[in-house]
Amino acid sequence: EIVLTQSPGTLSLSPGERATLSCRASQSVSSSYLAWYQQKPGQAPRLLIYGASSRATGIPDRFSGSGSGTDFTLTISRLEPEDFAVYYCQQYGSSPWAFGQGTKVEIK
Amino acid sequence: EVQLVQSGAEVKKPGESLKISCKGSGYSFTSYWIGWVRQMPGKGLEWMGIIYPGDSDTRYSPSFQGQVTISADKSISTAYLQWSSLKASDTAMYYCVRLEASGYFDYWGQGTLVTVSS
């Protein structure tokens, strides 16, 4: 069973700054089957990135994903006010699928 | 437009049974896996299991095997999550999701809040 560990737990940044979120897997994630989701308070999560680096439909290009094997990164190039939320990574390469514990991006 | 519309919030007592639903529209319901995700209050996301409505093939996370039952009625494009005997620890928001072919969750329902309290 693959365990995903996200860091940091909380990221305190100002609008306009760059955010770098990490997701580390306990074993290699096959075929880079790694996704990122954003969840705002009171809302369902929404898909941002799949296949480690492909943006989902309608996702702004300030969001980018990278990585392979066991180390993956979500980068938000310039934070907009609507980007302050919790972000989860998920591996879907082997069952059971697993989520990381989440990184909260908060306004500094 | 793809939509997953879930049933409304529920308040139940420990030991009661419950079945919540997720109706898909805007796509071929029998051609995509549907999954369920739990989010306990203030916590992260947990994958519970999936079902393929086309043939009712079902897979469970080991953490939820035997604790819940996932089913689907393809005639009405609806998937279900049910409990036979609720516990207080089942209090959570439950999301249904559609799985894209490779397995990521491309569409999410709005969530169903289940509260179990005596």
**Closest CA relative to residue A99, chosen from B112, B61, B87, B21:** B61
Contact A37, A23 (CB under 8 A): no
* Distance, CA of A26 to chain centre: 16
- Burial of A45 (C-beta count, 10 Å sphere; 0-12/13-18/19+): buried
| Closest approach of B86 to chain A, Cα-based (Å) | 23
Q: Which of B93, B94, B95, B106 is nearest to B32 (CA)?
A: B106
Strands B10-12 vs B112-116: parallel, antiparallel or unpaired? parallel
Give pLDDT, residue B68.
98
Q: Do B45 and A51 make contact, defined as CB atoms within 8 angstroms?
A: no
User: What span, in angstroms and rounded, lies between the C-alpha atoms of B115 and A43?
Assistant: 18
pLDDT for res B91: 98
> Mind listing the pLDDT tens digit for each residue in B32-50?
999 999 999 999 999 999 9
Residues of B within an 8 Å Cβ radius of A: 44-47, 59, 61-63, 95, 100, 102-111
Q: A2: exposed, middle or buried (C-beta count within 10 Å: 0-12, 13-18, 19+)?
A: middle
| A 5-44 residues with CB < 8 A to B | 31, 33, 35, 37, 39, 44
| pLDDT over threshold 90, residue A30 | no
Confidence (pLDDT) at A95: 85
Per-residue pLDDT of B52-109, as tens digits, reads 999 999 999 999 999 999 999 999 999 999 999 999 999 999 999 999 989 999 999 9
Interface check A101 vs B, CB under 8 A: yes
pLDDT band of residue A64 (cuts 50, 70, 90) is: very high
